[in-house]
Amino acid sequence: MTTADSRSRARAGLGGVLSSVSLLCVLLDLQVDGVLGATHVEIEHHLEMGRKLLAAGQLAEALSHYHSAVEGDSKNYLTYYKRAAVFLAMGKSKSALPDLSRAIQLKPDFLAARLQRGNILLKQGNTHEAKEDFDAVLRGSGEHGEAHEQLLKADELEMLQEEVRSTHLQGDYMGAVSVLDRVIEISPWDPEARELRADCYIRLGEPRRAIQDLIPTTRLRNDNRAAFLQLSRLYYGLGDHQEALSQVRECLKLDQDDKECLSHYKQVKKLSKMLDSAEELNHCCFCRYQEAMEKYELVTRTEPHVPFYTDKAKERICHCLVKNQRAHEAVDVCSEAHQRDPRNVNVLRDRAEAFIQNQDYEKAVEDYQEAKELDGENQEIREGLERAQKLLKLSRKRDYYKILGVNRNANKQEIIKAYRKLAQQWHPDNFQTEEEKKEAEKRFIDIASAKEVLTDPEMRQKFDAGEDPLDPESQQGGGGGGGGQGWPFHFNPFGSGGSFHFKFHYN
C-alpha cells in the first residue's frame, strides 16, 4: 500500500469519527433543548398556579408552587420576588428578606424589590440599610412618593432611637415609654425596641404591659431564651405559676441545658406542686384543712419574696382556720391577710365568719358590708351579710349560745352540761326574796329555751341562719319561749302563783 493510500484511509476514518461526534452533539443538543423546554413549561405552570392561589388567599399552596418555580430556575429574579410576596402575605417578613435580597442581587436596578426590602428593614428598626434602599429607589426613578416618605420616616426613627437611649439612661422611664410608642409605631418588628419598653414597664411597676411587649419578641428573634425566661418570671411574680411553667419550658426547648432557665424551672415546678396539692386538700370532699394549712405554710417559706404567694397562702390559711372552727386564730390570720390585701373579698368573708363564731356580730356585719361594697354582685357575700345582720338583731334580744356560755360549735353534750350547771345555779328555789325569784325565773326560762333550741338540730340550724324558732313574731318557731308546746317541761311553772317547786328533766 502506498503512503498516499494510507493517508486517504486515515482521512476517511477521521472523517467518520468526526461525523459520529457531530451527530452525537446534535442529538445531545436536541435532548437538552427538550429538557429545558419541558422545565420552562413546568416553571410557568408553577408560577401561574402560585398567582391564582395567592389571589384566592390559599397562601400555603401558593408558596409550595413558588418553591418549585425557584428550584426549577434559580436565576429568575421575578420568581424570588413573587415568593417574597407570599411570605409577606403570610406575615413571614424574615423569610421574605433573603428572597428580596436575591432578586436585587440578580437585578440590581429592580426598584420594586428594593422598595419592599427597605420597608421591611425599616419595620425591623434597621435604619441604615433601609435608607440605602430608599436612596437607590429615588436615584433610579427620580421623584418616588413612597420612597421619599419612607426615607423621612427612617430619618425620624434614627433621631427617636437616639432620644430614647438618652432618656432611658437618665432613668426617665415614663418619658422613654412615650418615645418608644412612636418608635414601635414605625418599626413594629424591632425586638430591641419592645424589649426596652418592657424594661421600662417593669421599672414602672406595670408587669402586665411588659408581658404584652415581650410576647412578640419571642417570634421576632430565632432564639430568644432571654424573653421566655423574663416572661416566666413576670408571670411567676403575678401568681400565674402555670403560665410561668409554660414560658420557661419554651426556653428549655431551645436549650435544655440553659442554666438560668433550668434553675427557674425547678423553682416554679416545686412551688406549683405545693400549691396544687394544698388547693386539692382545701377543696377535696374530705375537707382536710389541717393538711392544707401545712402545705400553705410551706409555700410561704419556699417563696417569701413573692407577695402574691405569701398573700394567697395567708388567705387560704385564714379560710382553713374558719372551716376548722378555730375562730380566735382565724381572726388574727385573716386580719393579717386583710392588711396585705385590703380588697380581697374572700378574706373579708372568712373573717366575718370567724367573728360570727366568736359571737362578735357587729364586726361580722362590718366585714360583710365592706365585702359587698367591693363585690356587690356576689350572692354569697349578700347572703352572708343578711345572715350576720339577723344574728346581730337576735343577739340584742336573746343569744342562746351566750345564755349557756358555749361556743357556736359546741356539741350536744357540751350544751347539756352547760345547761345543767346553769339550771341548778338559777333554780328559783335557790333564792329568797320575791324580786330575786322573779329574776331567777326569767334567767331560768332563757336557759331552758337555749337548751331546747340548741339540742334540736332543726331549730339550731334555723337559729344559726339568723332566725329565732321560739320567737312568735317570726311565725317560724314552735312557740313563744315562755311555755306552750315547745316548752321542755311537763308543766308551765309560771301558770299559777305561790311558791315554786320545779321538777325538770335534764335529758
For residues 230 and 218, what is the distance between their CA atoms, to the nearest angstrom? 11
Between 21 and 311, residue with greater pLDDT: 311
- As to burial, measured by CB atoms within 10 angstroms (0-12 exposed, 13-18 middle, 19+ buried), residue 239 is middle
What secondary structure does DSSP assign to 441-494, as a single string?
HHHHHHHHHHHHHHTSHHHHHHHHTT--TT-GGGT-SSS-SSSSTT-SSSS-TT
What is the pLDDT, as a whole number, of residue 277? 80
Which of 356-361's residues contact partners 24+ apart within 8 Å by CB, and which partners? 356/387, 356/388, 356/391, 356/408, 357/322, 357/325, 357/327, 357/330, 357/407, 357/408, 357/409, 358/327, 358/328, 358/331, 359/395, 359/399, 359/401, 359/402, 359/408, 361/388, 361/391, 361/392, 361/395
Which of 255-262's residues contact partners 24+ apart within 8 Å by CB, and which partners? 255/223, 255/225, 258/225, 258/229, 260/229, 261/225, 261/228, 261/229, 261/232
**Nearest partner of 460 among 417, 420, 408, 418, judged by Cα:** 408
What integer is the mean pLDDT of 158-167? 95
For residues 40 and 29, what is the distance between their CA atoms, to the nearest angstrom? 16
Chain-centre distance for alpha carbon 330: 29
Digit-coded pLDDT (tens) for 388-443 = 998 888 887 778 888 888 888 889 999 999 989 988 888 888 888 888 888 888 88
Other C-beta atoms closer than 10 Å to the C-beta of 501 total 8
Digit-coded pLDDT (tens) for 39-84 = 788 888 888 898 899 889 899 998 998 899 888 888 999 999 999 9
Q: Which amino acid is at 469?
A: P
What is the pLDDT, as a whole number, of residue 5? 53
What is the pLDDT, as a whole number, of residue 30? 35
Are 187 and 157 spatial neighbours (Cβ–Cβ below 8 Å)? yes
φ, ψ of residue 208 to 5 degrees: the values are -65, -35
Are 382 and 371 spatial neighbours (Cβ–Cβ below 8 Å)? no
Lowest mean pLDDT among 101-110, 145-154, 227-236, 303-312: 303-312
Looking at every residue in the chain, the average pLDDT score rounds to 83
What is the pLDDT, as a whole number, of residue 258? 95
What integer is the mean pLDDT of 222-251? 94
**Nearest partner of 346 among 321, 366, 375, judged by Cα:** 375
Which residue shows C-alpha cell 432618656? Answer: 167
What integer is the mean pLDDT of 360-364? 93
**Nearest partner of 75 among 114, 102, 40, 37, judged by Cα:** 102
Three-state secondary structure string covering 186-216: HCCCCHHHHHHHHHHHHHCCCHHHHHHHHHH
What is the pLDDT, as a whole number, of residue 120? 95
What is the pLDDT, as a whole number, of residue 184? 97
What secondary structure does DSSP assign to 96-140, as a single string?
HHHHHHHHHHH-TT-HHHHHHHHHHHHHTT-HHHHHHHHHHHHHH
Q: Which is it for the CA torsion 203, 205, 211, 212, positive or negative?
A: negative
Digit-coded pLDDT (tens) for 370-399 = 999 999 899 999 999 999 998 888 887 778
Are 422 and 447 spatial neighbours (Cβ–Cβ below 8 Å)? yes
What is the pLDDT, as a whole number, of residue 473? 64
What is the pLDDT, as a whole number, of residue 283? 67
For residues 246 and 223, what is the distance between their CA atoms, to the nearest angstrom? 16
Digit-coded pLDDT (tens) for 102-137 = 999 999 999 999 999 999 999 999 999 999 999 999
**Of all residues in the chain, what percent carry a pLDDT higher than 70?**
84
Are 249 and 268 spatial neighbours (Cβ–Cβ below 8 Å)? no
Q: Is 277 helix (H, G, I), strand (E, B) or coil?
A: helix
| pLDDT at 2 > cutoff 70 | no
Cell triple for residue 82? 413573587
What is the pLDDT, as a whole number, of residue 467? 82
Digit-coded pLDDT (tens) for 164-209 = 999 999 999 999 999 999 999 999 999 999 999 999 999 999 999 9
Are 123 and 93 spatial neighbours (Cβ–Cβ below 8 Å)? yes
| pLDDT at 8 > cutoff 60 | no
The residues, any chain, with a CB within 8 Å of residue 84's CB and separated by 6 or more, are 96, 97, 99, 100, 103, 113, 116
Domains and CATH numbers, the chain: 37-153 (1.25.40.10), 399-507 (1.10.287.110)
| pLDDT at 279 > cutoff 80 | no
